[in-house]
Amino acid sequence: MEDKMEEITLITIATYTNPFEAELAKGLLEDSGFHPNLLNERIMSMYASIAGDMYKIELQVPENEEKDAKELLTGLEDSDYVTRILKDEGALLEGHFQLTSGKHSNQYIEKARILQNPAAAHNLCKRLAKRLAEYEFEAIISPAYGAIALGFETAYLMGKNFVFTQRKEGEMIIRNGFDLSRMHKIVIVEDILTTGGSIQEVISCVQNKGLEVVVIGILIDRSGGNIEFPVPLESLLCLEIPAYERENCDACKQNIPLEIPGSSDK
């Protein structure tokens, strides 16, 4: 006896030129129980540089999923994509962590993992660039080191200049050598907003040079939206990560091994 395979008609609901973006959309559909398929994906991944003009990656779903899948895709926001990217890259960790504050938490963001995959970092910067597009400015500034790649990529995508700050004997300064006469209005790009301390320092050193900060662009606002600045803030993802004193930490009570992630150098 032979089973007759029922033929499934696949409908293309979106096209992409970027393999990372196609995979991302596919993953988000799968998360919601759809059965997506990528067409031309291999050709694109292998020959991305030459195939770009000839092929597009088609995101397909079975005919009966078309309407709902389209609806899901159009309803997705930056925060949905960013959460998925962070999880895919292993940048949003679950467990038992000691934060630099000494408090304990069940979640930890490993910033280095965001930069480890340039395709992921590029995708995040592209989303940030879209959010910053309505502002008028000439340059982006980022604090060393973690945010330099992100600020640079965002500036490149937006056709702007880029400068960065560094610490010299504890004080934050704009790195020597940049020609600041080319710029008046500046945008700050930072990876994660926690206490806002370093961003405040960047604002000060920009203002000390007689320049104006017009907006702050952040990938992840870890303060849960609780920190205010004298200029607008655009963040792709607002995340409140609860932290506990040792004596109130459930994970400690359950004897879950404590991880102490390495602190970053500035």
What residues line the site for Zn ion (CB under 5 A)? Answer: 104, 249, 251-252
DSSP secondary structure, 141-173, as one string: EEETTTTHHHHHHHHHHHT-EEEEEEEETTEEE
Least distance (Å) between residue 219 CB and Zn ion: 26
Least distance (Å) between residue 77 CB and Zn ion: 32
The smaller minimum CB distance to Zn ion, of residues 91 and 249, is found at 249
Strand pairing report for 57-62 and 10-16: antiparallel
Least distance (Å) between residue 111 CB and Zn ion: 21
DSSP secondary structure, 37-50, as one string: EEESHHHHHHSHHH
The smaller minimum CB distance to Zn ion, of residues 31 and 245, is found at 245
Per the annotation, binding residues for 5-phospho-alpha-D-ribose 1-diphosphate are 167-168, 190-198
Q: Are 189 and 142 in contact (CB under 8 A)?
A: yes
Strand pairing report for 37-39 and 233-238: unpaired
The smaller minimum CB distance to Zn ion, of residues 104 and 222, is found at 104
Report the distance separating Cα 182 and Cα 140, nearest Å.
12
The smaller minimum CB distance to Zn ion, of residues 20 and 97, is found at 97
SS3 breakdown of the chain: % helix, strand, coil, rounded to 5? 40, 30, 35
Least distance (Å) between residue 15 CB and Zn ion: 47
The smaller minimum CB distance to Zn ion, of residues 106 and 117, is found at 106
Q: 3-state DSSP call for residue 136?
A: coil
Per the annotation, binding residues are 167-168, 190-198, 222
Least distance (Å) between residue 240 CB and Zn ion: 18
Which residues lie closer than 8 Å to 39 by C-beta, 6 or more apart? Answer: 10, 12, 57, 58, 60
Per the annotation, binding residues for orotate are 194, 222
